[in-house]
Amino acid sequence: MKKSAIKLVVVAALMSPMTLMAQKAALPKQITVKGSVKFATPQDQYRKVWLSRDNGGGKPEVVDSVVLGADLTYSFKIKQDHPGIYKLNIMQWDHISFWSDADVTVASRGYDTAKMKMKIPHFYHVKGSSDNNFINQMELNNTNGYLRMVDEINEEYFAKKYQEEKGDSGWISYLKTRKRYNPMRDDNKAREEILMEIYKDRPVLIYALRNMAGTEDGEKYAAALAKLDNLIAKYPWLTEAKEMKSTILKNKAQAQKLKAGQPVPTISYPDDLGKLQGLEQYKGKYVLIDFWASWCGPCRQAIPKVKELYAQYKDKGLEVVSISIDTDKGAWRKAMADEKMSWMQLLSDDKEKTMAEFQFSGIPTMYMIDPQGKIITRFTGYSPEAQKEAEAILAKGTVAKPAGERKSIPMTSF
């Protein structure tokens, strides 16, 4: 028998039904999760811990919850067909992920006891299996990357302030001209890539693949699908990998509908009086659609800038429609009252569906729509650069065209 034929026989044997049954039989059917909290929230209704499972579709499903004990501890018994990614939501303060192929324990801070309360990311080491350590390392990398970003922003702010107050530009010049050993994003990416290479054949890799693919063809997209296909072949029981691939393909198809030049999806959301409203009433107008929420700091910071844009271009044909993804109507109404926004305010009645339909995971996300109801561009966040682009679109009367084919018409003609 030829060597190539022998290899085929060996592969077939490895993937035989008996081998797959043995592989699945070795998976843990039940694990115990134990946790402790240092500080409990004073709000009794939030003294709970929620347990969710990520099934690969992009929306974790709450599978259990417990009330925090008087000794500030909690525990879960997880019965499962196979291991997967779980997340602990501890009193709406700490959010901790783990891989469920062995018992796990974790200690977290819990409630922020500082006078100025901030829900900033914290890293908590989850004691579990060696595969679970992949999630530990990914989380540490992400947390440190976020903190480094904040530190760099703060340093630049104080360097500029020092220049203004002291007339000394040495500090800010150093920050602007020095060559860093590794820019923040490159540093984060390098650490992530080596971790993914080390764990490339382990099922827990799906934790990193959840947000890797995006919706655009390219090297990263192809790599994510290839890694998923590898996991699907190696672990037929890993249904999350199959569902994740299906979700990625669906998201890509939906993203194609949101390209420049495409008609904006039809919406129907209730306003603050409960009346359903859509965008058809704004035909012939430019519309800036702003997806936001009361609890989103960057969203609230963007509102004054949107007000400036609206005041400048309202009489020339601009309308703004804010669509909140709040789940607390009271918080939404209070934010509207506080911000005093003088344009249409709508509330999504299905947050997850809205985020999937308009393909965003972070807010504020904004879409600029032309007078024919077609998408001109999308802003992820509302930076000074986004503000300038929006002003240029409105000043020039830009209409939607496929990328690279935009043209301008006078805005006042509508």
Helix or strand run (H / E) with residue 82: none
Last residue of a domain, one of 99, 131, 163: 131
**Domain region containing 34:** 24-131
Strand partners, 61: 53
Q: Are 184 and 64 in contact (CB under 8 A)?
A: no
Most confidently modeled range among 10-14, 70-74, 172-176 = 70-74
Q: Residue 384 domain-assigned?
A: yes
Band (pLDDT 50/70/90 cuts) for residue 32 is very high
Task: Work out the average pLDDT over 330-341.
Answer: 94
Pairing of strands 94-99, 269-270: unpaired
Q: Residue 41 domain-assigned?
A: yes
Q: Residue 169 domain-assigned?
A: no
Closest CA to 142 of 207, 188, 95: 188
Listed in sequence order, the DSSP H helices in 104-218 are: 132-166, 170-177, 184-198, 206-209
pTM of this structure: 0.71
pLDDT given at position 165 = 94
Q: Residue 56 domain-assigned?
A: yes
Report the distance separating Cα 164 and Cα 166, nearest Å.
Answer: 6
The CATH number of residue 45's host domain is 2.60.40.1120
Q: Residue 274 domain-assigned?
A: yes
Last residue of a domain, one of 84, 99, 131: 131
What residue type is 33 in one-letter code? V
Query: In this predicted model, what pLDDT tens digit does every residue of 114-139 receive, in sequence order?
Result: 887 777 778 999 999 999 999 999 99
Q: Residue 13 domain-assigned?
A: no
Helix or strand run (H / E) with residue 4: helix 3-14
> What are the backbone dihedrals phi and psi of residue 48, each rounded to the nearest 5 degrees, phi first?
-135, 160
pLDDT given at position 408 = 36
The CATH number of residue 319's host domain is 3.40.30.10
Last residue of a domain, one of 68, 97, 131: 131
- SS3 state at 88: strand
Query: In this predicted model, what pLDDT tens digit does every residue of 286-329 receive, in sequence order?
Result: 999 999 999 998 999 999 999 999 999 999 999 999 999 999 99
Report the distance separating Cα 54 and Cα 116, nearest Å.
Answer: 32
Number of structural domains the chain divides into: 2
Q: Residue 256 domain-assigned?
A: no
Task: Work out the average pLDDT over 190-195.
Answer: 93
Q: Residue 10 domain-assigned?
A: no
What residue type is 206 in one-letter code? I
